[in-house]
Amino acid sequence: METVRGKCIFIFVESDLRWKFFTRFHKTLDVFGYEVVYVTNCLTVWIRGKLEGYNVILSKFKLFDKKIYKANIQTKSIKKEILDVEIGDVNADEAAIILTKWNDFFCSTANKYKPRVCFIYNGTSIFTYAAKKWAQNYKIKSLFFELANIDGKMFVDPWGTNAKSKAYADDVLLDTYKMGKEDFDTWLNNYRNHKKNVKQALVSRKISNIFFYAINKIWFLGYLKRKRAYVNKELKRFIYRYKKDLFKKDNKVIKLDSLKPYYLFPMQVSIDSQILLNSDVSLERAIIYAREKAKKNNVNLLIKLHPAERDNRIKAQLEKIQSDSIFVVDKECSIDDFIDNAEKIITINSTVGLEAILHDKDRSEERRVGKECRSRW
């Protein structure tokens, strides 16, 4: 690949949601004289971009490409790196071939436009991981984006997101940000009074969004050899995602006084990249730990579903473990009263960990729970 680069930015987009996110930057980048090229594997993003007059380049699969690809990447290096592989959508061997193809696609596109910078969202999906590795190999500066779980905030990092970020590797960076007590108290008061679920925590049920989602899944089939397994998995996921909520029948006001004392365990999303790629503790093992901890200390356990949980199979598993001392509440219940009245908060990568600090909950006990959870649900 040629090394001379013009004032061009590659923005890698793998979904319609990311398209809406990144196009908000377009006017500002244009003012600063950047040529913006959107690179995508998503058919509906390409259609949207063309209709709106943006420069969008679409990756095509083997039906449109006569070249036979052999993986030039070791599958071992993919382990615990790509969310699609960890949740079973794509196996490691097939992922390696797709990454090889996309690497060639990025190279040929870059030879034409000479990008100086890449904008990549998260970097854990198979498409954005391919973009991340390609940019690293050719030493193209990249910025990785992820919305924070505080409304109106986001993370932007030159290395990656979560445990792959520079901020995680060097937490001294966080100490450089200073805020006075008065400013903090003002922010905290505003946060508590106007707090709401952030947009990424909501499950869209718009017919148009469901239709676009289906189109892109069908398009992605073109990259795969294991088409039948992928279709079966997606159909099951779709059914569990949109069928009637198992906990609706129990969606009544909970009298917290009758539950005291209790520990609160807020669930994380079952396919969260931070849990699957960066944690040695699964949700299952964390729930086992929370249940045993509550039992040992003779208190009740209150489990709250994450508002973005899409898989009702998780809810079915939780329904089985409910008892006189274990209570599960659905995603529509407010979390504030639960936190205020809890004896302790047990978290695994949850915004409620931040909430617990803001509610002045005891943080004296910080332990790794991975090796303590041996039994099953």
146: phi then psi, degrees, rounded to nearest 5:
-155, 135
Strand order in the sheet with 117-121: 56-58, 35-40, 8-13, 117-121, 141-147, 154-157
Copy the structure tokens of residue 45.
């993003």
Q: Which helix (H) or strand (E) holds 256?
A: helix 256-259
Per-residue pLDDT at 54 exceeds 70:
yes
Distance, first Cα to last Cα, the chain = 52
In the predicted model, what is the mean pLDDT of the chain?
A: 82
Tell me which of 17 and 77 has the higher pLDDT.
17
Provide the token pair at 298: 């003779």
- Quote the CA–CA distance of 2 and 110 in Å, as a whole number: 8
Candidate from 30-39, 107-116, 366-375 with smallest mean pLDDT? 366-375
- Local confidence band at 366 (pLDDT 50, 70, 90 cut-offs): very low
Task: Identify the pLDDT of residue 258.
Answer: 80
Q: What is the mean pLDDT of residues 73-92?
A: 86
Task: Say what the pTM is.
Answer: 0.83
Strand partners, 12: 39, 120
- Per-residue model confidence (pLDDT) at position 371: 38
Q: What is the pLDDT of residues 319-340, one digit of tens each?
A: 888 888 998 887 556 677 888 8
Per-residue pLDDT band at 3 (split at 50, 70, 90): very low
pLDDT of res. 240: 66
Q: Exposed (0-12), middle (13-18) or buried (19+): which is 323, by Cβ within 10 Å?
A: exposed
Q: What is the mean pLDDT of residues 20-24?
A: 94
Question: Do the beta carbons of residue 365 and residue 353 sit within 8 Å?
Answer: no
Q: Which residue has the higher pLDDT, 351 or 160?
A: 160
Amino acid present at 229: A
Structure tokens at 308: 């973005």
- Mean pLDDT over 72-90 rounds to 86
pLDDT band at 12 (very low <50, low <70, confident <90, very high): very high
CA distance linking residue 270 with residue 277, whole number of Å: 12
Residue 205: pLDDT above 70?
A: no
pLDDT over threshold 70, residue 106: yes
> Tens of pLDDT along 125-154?
999 999 999 999 999 999 999 987 777 778
Q: How far apart are CA 65 and CA 56, in angstroms?
A: 19
Residue 34: the pLDDT is 94
Q: What is the mean pLDDT of residues 219-242?
A: 78
> What's the rounded mean pLDDT across residues 1-28?
84
Look up residue 178 and give its amino acid: K
Question: What is the tens place of the pLDDT at every residue in 57-76?
Answer: 999 876 555 566 677 777 87
368 pLDDT band, cuts 50/70/90, is very low
Least confidently predicted of 255-259, 266-270, 289-293: 255-259
Identity (one letter) of the amino acid at 179? M
Query: Is 185 a residue whose pLDDT tops 70?
Result: yes
Q: What is the pLDDT of residue 313?
A: 73
pLDDT band at 188 (very low <50, low <70, confident <90, very high): confident
Amino acid 20: pLDDT: 93
Please give the pLDDT value at position 332. Answer: 56
Both tokens of residue 262?
């209790």
Give the pLDDT confidence score for residue 377 in this predicted structure. Answer: 38
Q: What is the pLDDT of residue 74?
A: 78
Cα 326 to chain center, whole Å? Answer: 28
Identify the residue with better confidence: 14 or 65: 14
